[in-house]
Amino acid sequence: MLATEVAQAREPWLVLKNCRQLGNEGNDADSFHIRAAGKEYIFRLYFVDAPETDSSFPERVDEQAKYFGLTVPQTLQLAGYAKRFTKEKLSGPFTVRTCMQDALGRSKQERFYAFIEANEGDLAELLVANGMARVHGSVATPVGLSSPERERQKLERLEREAKLAKVGAWGAPTGRMTARLQKQPPKTGPDSFDAFFHPERLATPTEAEAIEAPDPSLASSPGDRVSVAQPPSALAGTKLDPNTATSAELLAVPGIGPVLANRILAARPFKSAEDLEKVSGIGPKKFSQIRPFFAPGVDTPR
């Protein structure tokens, strides 16, 4: 989809369950044919862009190659890996959520944007976390939702971690393009879409914040499966200022989920990092968990 093309939603949000991927030559990692309730659809994932599987659009392939720091042949190779990755993740029944927002495409059949939940979690998140796709597509903004930016920020964090873990495209310079994460992005609840589509349905802030922290270290073996990296702020050895930290940086701190991050942002300014304990939902135990990630002194707005 070109940056100048603006997609429009035409229907209310639909939930299609027990979907199956259909075999089709046009399938790739982020766009594919599926069957749901006896009908065939083509869906395109929100927020991500996987490499083209051929050189029909050389300018687009060149752009993708530049983004990942790959050669064109490597980019096409990555596209093949990504296509097989998606086929594997969609080998069983999965759930599609869509508002029938037009995703355009080369096929005569209409193509629509969607969020897809496979058995292991959100497909777009799985692709980005494993270096199979990039965060992309700002013109395709889901309509009628209160928190699309939060999902985009999560994807950006997963992309940073994939770079640090050197998986997928990010492992190509060291011959590890086939490396995958040992642990996949965790779900945020019984239905991983609840925190995004219906945050009010989450029973308690604790449940909303129960996002599993990444592993504290990378695997040292040269095998194809590695552990996910620490949050970027921790790896870099820097500490956050609670008055200036972005939402994405707060979400990267183990123990801080979307609800708590929003409360911290709303409680600014802080006189010191110790004031974080006054934020609703941060008790003594939670404070001791997150405190090492914040600098003692803060920049208080004047």
What mean pLDDT value characterizes the chain?
Answer: 77
Q: How far apart are CA 222 and CA 162, in angstroms?
A: 16
d(CA 157, CA 87): 24
Judged on CB neighbours under 10 Å (0-12, 13-18, 19+), 145 is middle
Question: In this structure, is residue 83 part of a structural domain?
Answer: yes
Question: What average pLDDT does range 184-188 have in this prediction?
Answer: 65
Taking residues 247-251, report their average pLDDT. 77
In b/e form, how buried is each residue of 246-276, taking b as 16+ CB within 10 angstroms? ebbbbbbbbbbbbbbbbbbeeeeebeebebb
Which 3 state secondary structure label does DSSP give 140?
coil
Q: What does the pLDDT look like over 252-294, one tens digit per residue?
A: 788 887 778 888 988 888 888 899 999 988 988 899 889 988 8
E strand or H helix that includes residue 116: strand 111-118
- CATH number of the domain enclosing 253: 1.10.150.320
CA distance 44 to 105: 9
Per-residue pLDDT of 84-98, as tens digits, reads 999 999 999 999 988
Q: What is the pLDDT of residue 194?
A: 57
Q: What percent of the chain has pLDDT over 90?
A: 34
Res 235: pLDDT: 34
SS3 147: coil
Is the Cα torsion angle 257, 258, 263, 269 positive or negative in sign? Answer: positive
Q: Are residues 188 and 302 in the same domain?
A: no
State the helix-helix crossing angle for 72-89 and 58-68, rounded to 10 degrees.
90
Q: Is there a single domain that holds both residue 216 and residue 84?
A: yes
Whether 7 is in a domain gets the answer no
Residue numbers of the domain that contains 143: 14-230
Residues 212 and 257 in one domain: no
Q: How confident is the model at residue 19 (pLDDT cuts 50, 70, 90)?
A: very high
Structural domains counted in the chain: 2
Decide if 5 is inside a domain. no
Q: Is the pLDDT of residue 131 over 90?
A: yes
The Cα 87–Cα 177 span in angstroms is: 18
3-state secondary structure of 293: helix
Using a pLDDT cut of 70, give the percent of the chain over it: 72
The three-class DSSP label of residue 270 is coil
**Between 215 and 262, residue with greater pLDDT:** 262
